[in-house]
Amino acid sequence: MLVLVAPGQGAQTPGFLTDWLALPGAQDRVAAWSDAIGLDLVHYGTKADAEEIRDTAVAQPLLVAAGLLSAAALGDIAPGAVAGHSVGEITAAAFAGVLDDGAALTLVRRRGLAMAEAAAVTETGMSALLGGDPEVSVAHLEKLGLTPANVNGAGQIVAAGTVEQLAALAEEKPEGVRKVVPLKVAGAFHTHHMAPAVAELAEAARALTPADPAVTYVSNKDGKAVATGAEVLERLVGQVANPVRWDLCMETFKELGVTALIEVCPGGTLTGLAKRALPGVKTLALKTPADLDAARQLVAEHA
């Protein structure tokens, strides 16, 4: 059984869409999306520097567009399940047929703008903790006033909070943690700092008409499979201020009997976690179009 997954913010790098836009029809497709949402995705995916694409309002639509474009390049595939990390859940909702591409990009544009506005209120950020015992790390984060915003499994937790709190974490790592790595994001996502964005996203969601998932849709709120489009949309709204439980998604993958995992562009983060947490599951990250043939072979063997 194949699961198709989409990464979250921080996976983007300068120029990562360049090779993808050389595929037939890709540039026109992305240009049309750009016109529809009022954001030049072609420019940001090819010529913008790291700081420009760190902007939440830019990064989120860019990631969803990249995920949709790379999945389309795979052809007509039938994964057994889909899931996304943070903003990648919107990409996954499109994979499952809950939202069409246009609705997904419209929603993520509103999400990015709302979260950027919320992030501007207080200077905040996120840092990944590598290694250590999860219970020990969570207790330490709470002592510092930080939130375990992403519990990713495979020994990784992402802390979120103010820059002062994150500086204190860098100085005083939890016992057993090897390294604290600042992430390329512009706010404390999936925490109470994002509460103002929830109302904005709820308003945007009311204008959409979701369909029920055509394949198993695994929610990163709790790792549960969600059966209705209405609930998927409700969870997409609430998750901006709630922690991401990717560890529970991977537990569900095990229960579903997943044998292969493909991560859409810009792949790498979620396949890395899967290699450590899902032994025996074949993984592949779509980084450039050069990965498509191997991905199609994996689809043929496991879809």
For 231, other C-beta atoms within 10 Å of its C-beta total 17
Buried b (16+ CB within 10 A) or exposed e, 235-252: bbbebbbbbbbbbbbbbb
CB 27 within 8 A of CB 78: no
| Marked catalytic residue, from 34, 70, 85, 86 | 86
Distance, in Å, from the CA atom of 214 to the CA atom of 212, rounded to the nearest integer, reads 6
Q: Give just the sign of the alpha carbon dihedral 42, 45, 49, 55.
A: positive
Whole-number CA gyration radius for the chain: 18
Residue 193's SS3 state is helix
Distance, in Å, from the CA atom of 156 to the CA atom of 151, rounded to the nearest integer, reads 7
User: CB neighbours of 141 closer than 8 A, spacing ≥ 6?
Assistant: 147, 148, 157, 159, 169, 174
Bond from prior residue into 266 cis (ω within 30 degrees of 0): yes
Q: Which long-range contacts (CB under 8 A, 24 or more apart) does 203-207 make?
A: 204/106, 204/107, 204/110, 204/111, 205/107, 205/233, 205/234, 205/236, 205/237
Distance, in Å, from the CA atom of 228 to the CA atom of 208, rounded to the nearest integer, reads 14
Active site residue 190: yes
Active site residue 70: no
CB 33 within 8 A of CB 105: yes
| Marked catalytic residue, from 85, 190, 193, 302 | 190
CB 261 within 8 A of CB 270: yes
Amino acid in position 79: P
Catalytic residues: 86, 190
